[in-house]
Structures are given as structure tokens and as C-alpha cells.
Amino acid sequence: MIPTSSDLNSTQDPAMAYNIRLKPDMPTLFEQSVAGRRGDSLRPLWTQARAPESMIPAHYLRPQPCLLPELSEPEVVRHYTRLSALNYAIDLGMYPLGSCTMKYNPKINEVVARMPGFVALHPYEPAALQQGALALMANLQDYLAEMTGLSAVTLHPSAGAQGELCGILMIRRALEKRGNARHKMIVPDSAHGTNPATASLAGYTTVKVDTNAQGMVSVESIAQLMDEDTAGLMMTCPNTLGIFEKDIQQICKIVHDRGGFVYMDGANMNALCGVARPGDFGVDVMHINLHKTFSQPHGGGGPGAGPVCANETLRPYLPVPVVVQDNGMYSLCYNKPDSIGQLRAFSCSFMVMVRAYAYIRSLGPDGILMNTHMAVLNARYLRHLLKDTFYIPYQTETLHETVFNDKWQKPYDVSTLDIAKRLIDYGYHPPTVYFPLVVQGALMIEPTESETKESLERFAEVLKQIAKEAQTQPKRLKDAPVFAPRRRFDEASAARKPILRAKRNLAPE
């Protein structure tokens, strides 16, 4: 059912004021607080009968009691349950965010990650008691090495961005060892924002290289920019337009011939797994986003993981500790004189590794290859379904995602943002918008392999419907979303002047 304008007025219905489940201004816990209300129903423990001063040194005590909201247990439970129902999730519907690979996360991963042996493990336990966990890490490293063709693997980095930093610091260390760290790093204009940020955090000046008319980096542009003061190139492949960089092998050769290294942003590895190996086409070091390619629940802030795979030249610079095997026993080795050091506490986000391991094992090599094919097929099918509805700025054939824009909607004063907001009314999470920056008004869609043919067709149907509305009733798009707990935000103010404190309804002191 397509909503009508009378439905739009339902927000004025008096029932809305009472229906707390739909209420847009749902009160915060602090606003619901009533002085003296208690959430626990347990009898006082002996500790509560004693004054805190008799147990804790005075200088550790607060001068005043902490101002916490006071609520009953059901109030707290209902608050969080209501909040969870406001959330969009991959378990509720399609999540077409481009670049983010919001694929369905099989529940078997969660079953495995909750096995008591993993849950109860503490990283300070002696290696002898952690053999299973260390073996899992070593095996996962082997699988990632096999898929990337890069044999030196670390599971440390907490996300793609930290993986980038790890890889670029390894390049830096390798160049320092040769006597000159160099000053510049080449980054294409289609790169994710983390790439130039990483390069400058690692001490390099970024040199931008433009995407050509085919949506790729050209051999000539790299040949022109790559010099003896450039540490190398950071390249995403397939790139953020979903296009495979067809000249990457030749580009890698140019960088290598002038003493540089090639870093590959492997966030789009879900388009390559089982088909092509970056190590084989000349990449020296890359990261993989386990939370994208290897199915981890993500989007709510993590944890994710960005393991780094490098070739043997860069192995000595891997962060510590590294998993080593000696006489059939696994352990963590910290004694690596050339290492870039330790990037985080302990050695990885372990439960993320367990889920990725379960995912890879449950699919097997055939399943992983099939996933890659399906991710590409789904994206191409969607591109085909929508090619007459939204303009495609780069005509080159794409792999796992497609970038459209709002060129055909602009004459009706409808923009990408309006289309994205209207999708919320139809019950979909919007795609990625205004990225990559090389496309004006970008609408970037990555369906992933999880969606069925019917699901893709339904989504395309909705987008066509919205494109029709853009022509006939553009105001609907301008008003969207109306069927959401919140309408349109003033996004600039929300980012610049966020209101992080709720109005407090606490007991006077």
C-alpha cells in the first residue's frame, strides 16, 4: 500500500499522544525518573547495612551521591525494548548501504561464539590453557592468507581504519629500514575518507589522483605521480564505484619499480573472494573488514575487525604479539625487533574472530565463491532493474555495488537526500548517499548476496515508485519520512551542536 496524504496526517491523531510505542518524543530514562523509586526487588545485603565510609577510603567516595535515574525494573526493560524496536536491522529487512556490506549474519556464528569455552576464556590465562583459541586464530590467519595470496597476517586491528594504519606503518617501517621513509602517498579521489586520514596519521602527505572517465585509476596518472619521494599508493579494489581496477597489475609494477609499496583497501573483498587474489596481482599489504566480508553484526558501533595481510617482505613489521606454533603448541610471541609495535590491548577482538571462523568454515571454499558470485549477480541485477530510473554516471560494468545519482530527479527539485528519506516511509533503510565524492548526489547501493530475487525486485519496485512520485508529487519526498519515529533532522546542527544531556527529572539534593 502506498501511503496517501491523509495517512500523513495520522501524526496529528490524538492516539499518538498516548501510544508511547509510537511517540516520537519518547521520554529518556532521566525524564521518567521518580525520586525514591527502586528497580531492584532484592532484600538488602549485609554490605548495604553498613555505611560506605566504613568500607571505602574517604578520598574514593563521591562528595554527593551520583545522580542516576530512579525507575522500576519494568520501566527500564520497556524503555530498552522500545528503543530496540525503533532500530532498523538486517533481521528486519534489506539494508542496501553501499560500501558497508550489510549482509545477513547467519545465526550459527552466534551459537559458536557463545560456546562456553570461548565465552569463559580470559586473555591472561596461560597459553597452555588457550590452545583452542590460539589454534582458531592461526587457522583464521591461514584462511585469510589463502584468500588474499598474502601470507603474513595479523588479526589485531579493530576495524578497517586501524588496519589501514597498521599497513601504512608497516610500509613506513620497511622504507625506514631501507634508509628513507619518503614523504608522499598517492590516494585516488574515489577513496574512502579513512585512506587520506590514515596516510597523514602515518606522517605522509597525500597526493590525489583523479578517477578517469571509466571510473578507474589510469596507468599514465600513476606513472606521472610515482616518484622516489613517494612511499606508495593506497588503492581500493574494486573501487568505491564498484569497478574493478583493470590496470592494477601494471600500476603495482610501476609503484614497485620506483621503490614503493601498494596498499589495498580490501573493504570490497566480498567481490573478489575465491575469484582473484590481491597478492597475485601485485598488492603488498591490505586489510579485510571482517564485519563486512565475513559477516559480523555491525552498524551499531562494533566491535568489528580489520585484519591485515601482507607479503613476506613486510612480515617482519607485523604488530606484536604474533601467534606462533612450536612443537605443536601455540603461543603469542612479543619478541619481534622490527615490529611496528602493539596496536591495541591483547591480540584481537576475539569473538569477531570466532564468528568469522564459523562463517568461513560453514561456507567452505565453494560457498565463499558462490557468495562472491551472488553478491555480484545481485548488484548487477539491481543495476539492470533501475538503469532507466536513476542515472548511472559511470557506465563501466560494476561488481558488488552500483552508484546511481539524482540527475534525472533534479529537474523536479528532488535530491538524493529526499529519495533516501522517502525510502524510510516504504520500510527500507536508505542506501549510502553522497559517497563516493566523485559522483555528485551519489546513491550507492550494495544489495549483498543475502537478498533473494524477489527481495531485489520489491526494492527496485519501491525505488521506481519513488522516482514516479518525484515527478508527480515531489512534496511527498520533501516531507519524508512521515512514517518514522523522527522526521527530518537538521543534520548540520545535530552534528555541530548536539544536545547530549536530557532534561533531568531527578530528586533534589
Ligand X SMILES: *Cc1c(COP(=O)(O)O)cnc(C)c1O
Q: Which is nearer to ligand X, 69 or 167 (CB)?
A: 167
CA–CA separation, 372 vs 329, rounded Å? 35
The β-bridge partners of 154 are 308
Extract the C-alpha cell encoding 144.
585469510
Give the one residue of 240, 295, 398, 415 binding ligand X; rule: CB under 6 A: 240
Give the one residue of 94, 130, 150, 160 binding ligand X; rule: CB under 6 A: 160
CA–CA separation, 168 vs 191, rounded Å? 15
Extract the C-alpha cell encoding 38.
527502586
Least Å distance between CB 139 and ligand X? 22
Among the residue ranges 140-148, 157-165, 348-356, 375-383, the one whose residues contact ligand X (CB under 6 A):
157-165
Among the residue ranges 27-35, 81-89, 156-164, 215-223, the one whose residues contact ligand X (CB under 6 A):
156-164
What torsion, rounded to 10 degrees, do the Cα atoms 378, 275, 91, 443 define?
-50
CA–CA separation, 485 vs 157, rounded Å? 36
Taking Cα atoms as reference points, which of 173, 189, 262, 176 lies closest to residue 226? 262
Taking Cα atoms as reference points, which of 91, 95, 93 lies closest to residue 430? 95
If one asks whether residue 270 binds ligand X (CB under 6 A), the answer comes out as no
CA–CA separation, 341 vs 320, rounded Å? 6
CB 338 within 8 A of CB 172: no
If one asks whether residue 446 binds ligand X (CB under 6 A), the answer comes out as no
Q: Which is nearer to ligand X, 32 or 158 (CB)?
A: 158
If one asks whether residue 304 binds ligand X (CB under 6 A), the answer comes out as yes
Sign (positive or negative) of CA dihedral 311, 313, 317, 321: positive
Q: Which is nearer to ligand X, 166 or 456 (CB)?
A: 166
Q: Which is nearer to ligand X, 196 or 306 (CB)?
A: 306
If one asks whether residue 355 binds ligand X (CB under 6 A), the answer comes out as no
Least Å distance between CB 370 and ligand X? 22
Q: Which is nearer to ligand X, 304 or 447 (CB)?
A: 304
CA–CA separation, 85 vs 21, rounded Å? 9
Least Å distance between CB 163 and ligand X? 7
Among the residue ranges 159-167, 252-260, 384-392, 470-478, the one whose residues contact ligand X (CB under 6 A):
159-167
Least Å distance between CB 175 and ligand X? 23
What backbone torsions phi and psi does residue 330 show, to the nearest 5 degrees? Answer: -90, 145
CA–CA separation, 178 vs 184, rounded Å? 16
Rg, the chain, Cα only = 26
Distance, CA of 121 to chain centre: 27
Burial tier of 398 (Cβ tally within 10 Å: 0-12, 13-18, 19+): buried
Q: Which is nearer to ligand X, 265 or 469 (CB)?
A: 265
Here's the x/- map for ligand X, 31-60, by CB under 6 A: it reads as: ------------------------------
If one asks whether residue 289 binds ligand X (CB under 6 A), the answer comes out as yes
Give the one residue of 216, 226, 267, 343 binding ligand X; rule: CB under 6 A: 267
Least Å distance between CB 402 and ligand X? 15
If one asks whether residue 99 binds ligand X (CB under 6 A), the answer comes out as yes
**Cis omega (within 30 of 0) on the bond before 188?**
no
CA–CA separation, 249 vs 397, rounded Å? 19
Sign (positive or negative) of CA dihedral 239, 162, 97, 111: positive
If one asks whether residue 194 binds ligand X (CB under 6 A), the answer comes out as yes
If one asks whether residue 416 binds ligand X (CB under 6 A), the answer comes out as no
Give the one residue of 141, 154, 218, 236 binding ligand X; rule: CB under 6 A: 236
Among the residue ranges 129-137, 155-163, 278-286, 353-361, the one whose residues contact ligand X (CB under 6 A):
155-163
Least Å distance between CB 150 and ligand X? 17
Extract the C-alpha cell encoding 85.
524496536
The DSSP 8-state label assigned to residue 450 in this structure reads T
If one asks whether residue 306 binds ligand X (CB under 6 A), the answer comes out as yes
CA–CA separation, 153 vs 461, rounded Å? 43
Here's the x/- map for ligand X, 106-145, by CB under 6 A: it reads as: ----------------------------------------
Least Å distance between CB 414 and ligand X? 27
If one asks whether residue 265 binds ligand X (CB under 6 A), the answer comes out as yes
CB 260 within 8 A of CB 183: no
Give the one residue of 113, 150, 159, 286 binding ligand X; rule: CB under 6 A: 159
If one asks whether residue 293 binds ligand X (CB under 6 A), the answer comes out as no
Least Å distance between CB 305 and ligand X? 8
If one asks whether residue 161 binds ligand X (CB under 6 A), the answer comes out as yes
Give the one residue of 192, 383, 422, 429 binding ligand X; rule: CB under 6 A: 192
Ramachandran region, residue 153 (left: φ > 0; alpha: ψ -120 to 50; beta: rest)? beta
Q: Which is nearer to ligand X, 197 or 369 (CB)?
A: 197
How would you write 35-81 as a 3-class SS string? CCCCCCCCCCCHHHHCCHHHCCCHHHCCCCCCCCCCCCHHHHHHHHH
Sign (positive or negative) of CA dihedral 431, 434, 437, 440: positive
Least Å distance between CB 301 and ligand X? 11
What backbone torsions phi and psi does residue 333 show, to the nearest 5 degrees? Answer: -105, 125
Among the residue ranges 44-52, 153-161, 210-218, 387-395, the one whose residues contact ligand X (CB under 6 A):
153-161
Kindly state the number of chain residues that form the binding site for ligand X, as judged by CB under 6 A.
13
Positions touching ligand X (CB under 6 A) are 99, 159-161, 192, 194, 236, 240, 265, 267, 289, 304, 306
